[in-house]
Amino acid sequence: MKVFKDALVYLDGKIKRVDLQFGERIAGFGSEGERIALSENAVVFPGFIDEHVHGAGGADAMDGSVGALSVIAQTLAAEGTTGFLATTMTDDGAKIARAMNAVKEYRQTDPGEGAEVLGVHLEGPFISPEYKGAQNENYVCKPDSAVFGEWQKASGNAIKLVTLAPEADGAEELIDDLVKKGIVVSIGHTSATHEQIERAIGAGAGNVTHTFNAMSPLHHREIGAVGSALLHDELNCELIADGIHVSVPAMRLLFKSKPKGKITLITDAIRAKGLGEGESELGGQKVFVEKGQARLADGTLAGSVLQMNKAIKRLIKEVGVSVSDAIDAATITPARTLGIDKDCGSIEIGKKANFAILDEDFNVLATYRNGKVIFQN
């Protein structure tokens, strides 16, 4: 048994000074155990969960290899992330299948180093060409349960979340199929009208992919996907809080519009994260990273190089969000979305000992997964 003695710990939405005992799981609030020293200003938060991240450290989920997933997992640990969904791109079906096979193999032989691969976020190819963003239009296709089933089988049933355009032919049938299987349906890369989104919600769609980005905008005569995301309380909204994809006023609008616990921080990061500026790649397309922005040659935003701890800091320092709302958006909210909140997302007795330990400036001092250090600064 280990213990953080007299430590600042995020509990029930507040930072409290307690003794925290843990092994692989959180055991209690006593003082007995091997004492783990923390700096006086360190705060123990729940480990962060990134439900939408393509890559990091020079690797991408679409590389289709166990090695690439290992690089991503270890890179994400340095920003306090303890679990993530390996996120795909709109690409050739065989490449997607290879990526699914790699996730299956990695999860079967998980070395416990770095963040946990919680499953897959299938972003595309069931999207709108009109709002493809940095996705490759050549591989966009209609929603198809049979095709999805092949990829799900290849992944070992690891696909947990699917982004799709609800206005596409066959979307309602696929939404119904996914919901019956317990898979989260996320509205994204879409030209949908409010009426079409209402039908998707009725069919069981409950998430919005990188809200504001790659979707039909708000207009006073047709509120589109953006207006629908703000209007419908039941929709959980992903947010890239890098100040590039979404402006500070737009982030404030989102937090003002949504009920508590209905915003999820994501990074939407690509392989360039952690590598500095220069040329990179996403889905077979050249990406150029300059001044913290990742863009295709035509200027289209191509994911991000955002780190989760810095996204949290921006919400608090620039957007004016409370510490609890910012932390919850990276922890318990995605855990609830993915149905893993009994094990992850908050510091409670019996849950996994997944921690992000930050200093007063939100720098990551250490990251623990299942009670084991996976990053130490």
**Contact (CB, 8 A) for 259 and 228:** no
Residues 339 and 51: their CA atoms lie apart, in Å, by 12
Nearest to 216 by CA among 312, 100, 326, 133: 133
The residue with tokens 């953006």 is 226
**Contact (CB, 8 A) for 329 and 315:** yes
Cis peptide before 125 (omega within 30 of 0): yes
> How many C-beta neighbours within 10 Å does residue 95 have?
17
- Compute the radius of gyration of the chain from its Cα atoms: 20
Residues 339 and 142: their CA atoms lie apart, in Å, by 27
Point out the catalytic residue in the list 50, 268, 328, 341.
268
The residue with tokens 């032989």 is 109
First to last CA, the chain: 23
Is 268 one of the annotated active-site residues of the chain? yes
Residues 311 and 268: their CA atoms lie apart, in Å, by 11
Residue type, 7: A
Give the active site residues: 268
